[in-house]
Structure 1
Amino acid sequence: MDRKSLRENLENYRTPFEDESSFVDDFIELTFDDNAYVRERLEGHFTGSAWIVNKRRTHTLLTLHRKLNKWLQLGGHADGHENLLEVAMAEAQEESGLTSLRIVDSRIFDIDRHTIPQRGDVPEHFHYDVRFLFEAEMNEPLQISEESKDLAWIQFDAVEDIVGLNPSILRMLEKTSKSEILM
């Protein structure tokens, strides 16, 4: 998914979630910026994430992010790479050690614009996170990366207890629960 196809996917992206639909146009606008895929764009930049579920759609894989100290989906910076699906896959593999990862659908699963707090000399900025749905085997051993404090398969009905009121995680959970995508 290159810059042009990302823009087309975003232009055709529909969501019933008001919070998510409120920033679709901002994502589209960002695709016109040549620096949108590098973290040096301090106003905000694209990231790619993987919402990883098991085949039975009962669990999701979350990471306790070392810097943010929050349970989140796996993902990270594009670092100049414009194919955010590939970014999401690479980050998911790097952060989990999973080899059974499989893309469920190459279309955008979710988008979220969220604030990253200032850290050192990097000012507060936005991540324009494009998320894709992945599937993996739960019985495969996990490898915690240096970016995480922990990594765990969380049963769907326990996700809210783990993440609190994180609306973007809860939105992806709801989408998964209602999804008819390749089960």
Structure 2
Amino acid sequence: MNREQLLRTLKSYRTPFEEEKSFVEEFIALCEDPLAFSRERKEGHFTASAWIVNKRRTHALLTHHRKLNRWLQLGGHADGNDNLMEVAMTEAREESGLISLKLVDSFIFDIDKHLIPANSRDAEHFHYDVRFLIEAAMDEPLTISDESNDLAWVNYDIIPDVVKSNDSILRMLEKTSKSEFVL
């Protein structure tokens, strides 16, 4: 999914979630920026994430992010790669050590715009996160990356307690918990 395909997909993207609907036009506009997939765009840039679930849709793989000190889905910066599906799969492999990753669908699963706090290297900025639904086997060994404090398969029932008020994760959880969203 290159820049042009991403733009076409975003233009036809439909969601029943109001917050997600509010991001679509900004994502479309960002596609036009030559630096959209680069950290050089200081005010914000595209990232890609993997919502990794088991085949039975009872658990999601979450990482305890070292810098943000929160449980999140796996993902990262595009670093110039405009194929966000490829970025999501690469980040999922690098951050989990999983080999059995299977892209459930080539369509965008979720989008989210969120603020990243300033740190020693970067000023406060936005991540325009494009997410893909990925399946993996829970019995495969996990490898914790340098970017994480921990990595765990979390039962759907306790994800709300683990992620607290992270609405975007709760939205992805809802999408994989309800039959109308399950592919």
Q: Provide TM-score, normalisation by structure 1.
A: 0.98
What is the CA-CA distance between 1:122 and the residue it aligns to? Answer: 1.0
The number of equivalent residue pairs is 181
Unaligned runs of 5+ in 2: none
2:76 maps to: 76
Deviations 1:13-67 (A, max 9, x none): 0010001101100000000001000011101000010000000000000000000
How far, CA to CA, are the matches of 2:18 and 2:93 in structure 1?
31
2:87 maps to: 87
What percent identity do the matched residue pairs reach? 67
> Which amino acid in structure 1 is aligned with residue 182 of structure 2?
E
How far, CA to CA, are the matches of 1:165 and 1:54 in structure 2?
23
1:180 maps to: 182
What is the CA-CA distance between 1:150 and the residue it aligns to? Answer: 0.2
What is the CA-CA distance between 1:121 and the residue it aligns to? Answer: 3.9
What SS does the corresponding residue of 1:61 show, helix, strand or coil? strand
Contact kept in structure 1, 2:108 and 2:131, CA below 8 Å: yes
> Which amino acid in structure 2 is aligned with residue 116 of structure 1?
I
How far, CA to CA, are the matches of 1:58 and 1:70 in structure 2?
21
Note the aligned Cα RMSD (angstroms).
0.6
- Aligned pairs (5 A) from 1:1-183: 1-178=1-178, 179-181=181-183
How far, CA to CA, are the matches of 2:121 and 2:3 in structure 1?
29
| Segments of 4+ moved more than 4 angstroms | none
Deviations 1:134-154 (A, max 9, x none): 000000000000000000000
How far, CA to CA, are the matches of 2:182 and 2:35 in structure 1?
36
Unaligned runs of 5+ in 1: none
How far, CA to CA, are the matches of 2:42 and 2:171 in structure 1?
27
Q: Provide TM-score, normalisation by structure 2.
A: 0.98
What SS does the corresponding residue of 1:98 show, helix, strand or coil? coil
How far, CA to CA, are the matches of 2:121 and 2:57 in structure 1?
41
Contact kept in structure 1, 2:10 and 2:24, CA below 8 Å: yes
